[in-house]
Amino acid sequence: EVQLVESGGGLVKPGGSLRLSCAASGFTFSSYAMNWVRQAPGKGLEWVSSISDSGTYIHYADSLKGRFTISRDNARNSLYLQMNSLAAEDTGVYYCARDLSGHSYPPFDYWGLGTLVAVSS
């Protein structure tokens, strides 16, 4: 069974940093591109970042302005999101999501339950 379990969220002050993790199991992690998607309270979904299966290709949402860094460790079956210079507008639930394999321009077929990030003084 495919499982994605996020961790690392919490309460942080404006300007602070957090590192989110996503532990993957039930599939060959190193064969799949992965993504982070966030959702502010009561708002819609916002794609944050994606990373290819090998980690070679990375994309970010323009709104992040270079503050976030996505990475992965295929040996540990883990995806990460380093978030720096956090602001109130970064508050929300952060989901990791897997690309659907075998398709060009794939959707996200499995999602974790999410981890809550709250940025407040």
65 near another protein (CB under 8 A): no
Length, in residues, of the chain: 121
CB of 31 to another protein, least distance (A): 18
- In single-letter form, the type of residue at position 107 comes to P
Residue window 11-50: x/- pattern of binding to another protein, with contact defined by CB under 8 A: ------------------------x-x------xxxx--x
Closest CA to 69 of 55, 53, 88: 55
1 near another protein (CB under 8 A): no
Residue window 87-106: x/- pattern of binding to another protein, with contact defined by CB under 8 A: --------x----x--xxxx
> Contact at 8 Å (CB) between 73 and 80?
yes
73 near another protein (CB under 8 A): no
Nearer to another protein, 29 or 60 (CB): 60
Nearer to another protein, 32 or 108 (CB): 108
108 near another protein (CB under 8 A): yes
Sign (positive or negative) of CA dihedral 97, 100, 104, 106: negative
Which residues contact another protein by CB under 8 A?
A: 35, 37, 44-47, 50, 59-62, 95, 100, 103-109, 111-114
